[in-house]
Structures are given as C-alpha cells and as structure tokens.
A and B are shown apart, each in its own frame.
Chain A
Amino acid sequence: MTFSRFAAVVREGEIKLPKTLAGVTVPRQNEVVINLFADGKVRINGQNYAVADLTGFLQRLRQSDETGTNLSVNLRGDEKMSYQDLSSFMNACARADVFDVSFATAEARQ
C-alpha cells in the first residue's frame, strides 16, 4: 500500500494540474484517462500517442466496449498547455462521438 502510493505520485507528478475549488471526486465507470502534456504530447496508459491518433483510438475503444455504456474521457491536462491543444483534443473527442468529457483538476486550498 505504501509503495503503490509512491508509484501513483511518480505517475501524476509529471503533469501539473490546474487548481480549482469546484469539482467532484467521485470516479466514473468506463472512463479513459488521457494525459496531455504542456508540449502537446499525449499519453494513455503509459503509451504515447499523437493528438491526430486520438479519434481513431477513442473510436476503437467505443467499438471494443461490450457493456454498451457510454465512454467517458477524463483529461489530465498540464496547466501550461495551450487552448489550441485543448481545442484539438475536444475536436478529436467530438469526431469519435465521445461527448462525455471531464477535466481533472487538483484541489485548491482556500
């Protein structure tokens, strides 16, 4: 348990999430976590992708899902990445017919 926590910190430490006051911590079912770095790199489950490949990736995920539940995407974007990258990501989701998108944020201290 101790070491798995350390592993999680190492994984998450690379992306600096924006801090927000609003937001919920409840996880969703059938959710894919997409990491988007400040330099535009995309990493999903430890594998690197290009933004252009995202549409195909999400379409394959939707087709392979046998449960029939809607696929949702959680974007873990670096706070320094540009709106252009966010726009490209949103377009990729829209093209793959994935409209259930949430944004991962870190809890801001009041």
Chain B
Amino acid sequence: MKLHRRHTKRGRVEIIPMIDTILILLIFYMSFSQFKAEEKRIDAKVPGPPAESAVRDPLDIVLHVHDREHIAVAGGGVFRVDDLAVYMSQVAMVKHEGSVAIKADPDTAYGDVVAALDACALARFKRVGFVPVQQ
C-alpha cells in the first residue's frame, strides 16, 4: 500500500494585505493626528475712551513688564514670570474682584507681555487690561 505523505501548509506572511492595512492605518493617523498644539485664547480688556481710562480704579494692580525675568508689581517688588503666577494667586485671594493693568516698554516683546497676562489668567483675574504706550 502506498502511503501519501501529508502535506502540511507552511504559514507565510501575506505581504499585500499587510501593505493595505499599513496604508489604511497611515491615512487614519494622518487624518486625526494633530500636527500643532491646539490654539487657545485669553480674553482681555481694551482700554476704553480717554475719559474712562483716565479714571483708574484704586484697587488696580499695575504690572510693568520689562521682560520675562523682570516684571515689576506696583508696591510688590520685581518677579520672574514663574514667580509672578504664584504671587498673583496670593493677591487674588485678597483682591479677587480686583483688576490688573499691564503696561510695558514700547520695545518689550509681545510674548513677555502675554506671559504676564497668562500669570494673571492662571490666578483667575477676570479684569485684565493694557495701558497704551504714550504717544
């Protein structure tokens, strides 16, 4: 009697379905991944008409931004931007309804000014405005 050897099917990697799957995954991740950090927004006050802006609230906290390392708080000292967030949080506990006026030198970088604004927003000050540069 002739015995037939049983042929076992050897497993192999199917290349074409694998390429299809990789392509579909690639398209999926390209579509839904974020290439850039999400954009946020911080609200601030625009100085009102001259008559209104001339009258300053006595509770105003005035910040003078020279740069990121030197932010002067009227009556409070000079802070780095990281320390300012801590200081403003402490102030917010006392003057939670107070408003903040930010001023800066004409050539101060906008990024440094926004860093000060960020510190105020983190301390949950809702009324933050900018003092215009004197012409």
Residues of A within 8 A of B (CB): 1-2, 5-6, 8-9, 12, 17-25, 74, 76-87, 90-91, 93-94, 98-107, 109
Count how many chain B residues have C-beta atoms less than 8 Å from C-beta atoms of the other chain.
Answer: 37
Of the candidates B46, B107, B118, B132, the one whose C-beta lies within 8 Å of that of A22 is B118
Q: Report chain B residues within 8 Å CB of A22.
A: 40, 42, 118, 121-122
CB nearest neighbor in B for A92: B46
Q: Report chain A residues within 8 Å CB of B42.
A: 20, 22-23, 102-103, 105
A21 to chain B, nearest CB (A): 6
B107 touches A105 (CB 8 A): no
Q: How many A-B residue pairs have CB under 8 A?
A: 134
A1 to chain B, nearest CB (A): 5
Query: Complex formed: what's the CA distance from A95 to B48 in Å?
Result: 9
A84 touches B46 (CB 8 A): no
Whether A2 contacts B30 in the complex (CB less than 8 A), given A82-B106, A101-B44, comes out as yes
B31 touches A94 (CB 8 A): no
Q: Mark B22-66, 1 if CB is under 8 A from A, else 0.
A: 000001001100011111111111111100000000000000010
